[in-house]
Amino acid sequence: MIVIGCDHGGYELKEEITAYLKEKNIEFKDFGIYSAEPADYPDIALRVCEAVVNGECEKAILICGTGIGMSIAANKVKGIRCALCGDVYSAKMTRLHNDSNVLALGGRVIGKGLCVEIIEAWLGTEFSGEERHINRIRKVMSIE
């Protein structure tokens, strides 16, 4: 189960992502927003990230105009490791090395085709589980 959320800058891409998830029968919850009316990305990031840390979902996707605001806000939430990705390699590596639990995307930066490839790589890659990466993640979490 994944949760998805966006602000107005990410609304259009969020609609394309939810259509893709439905087509692929990937279970998700849409935490909005539900129109392109202006909304504040920290509000949505917090709601979505709370669902991850509460265990309501395992992973989440956040979209704003650049993905930057969402990723900054998400990474303030204890337990969240949010990766802003604009390429497939990073999406794969952040799962393998960082065990990221939130993916941030820039709705005004990438198009649907690349976005779908990034999501497929991110959802389809497991954390490597290697000791050195576990240690580094532990160190990151100890900064919280």
Q: Based on the residue annotation, tell me whether 64 is a catalytic residue of this protein.
A: yes
Strands (E), 14-93: 28-30, 59-64, 82-84
- Distance, in Å, from the CA atom of 32 to the CA atom of 2, rounded to the nearest integer, reads 13
> Contact between 9 and ligand RB5 (CB under 6 A)?
yes
CB of 23 to ligand RB5, least distance (A): 25
CB of 31 to ligand RB5, least distance (A): 16
Residue from 36, 68, 93, 137 in contact with ligand RB5 (CB under 6 A):
68
- Distance, in Å, from the CA atom of 100 to the CA atom of 118, rounded to the nearest integer, reads 13
Q: Based on the residue annotation, tell me whether 97 is a catalytic residue of this protein.
A: yes
Site string for ligand RB5, 13-52 (x = CB under 6 A): ----------------------------x-----------
Which C-beta is closer to ligand RB5: that of 35 or that of 54? Answer: 35
Asked if 82 and 62 touch (Cβ cutoff 8 Å), the reply is yes
For the purposes of burial, counting CB atoms within 10 Å of the CB of 27, is it exposed (0-12), middle (13-18) or buried (19 or more)? exposed
Annotated catalytic residues are 64, 97
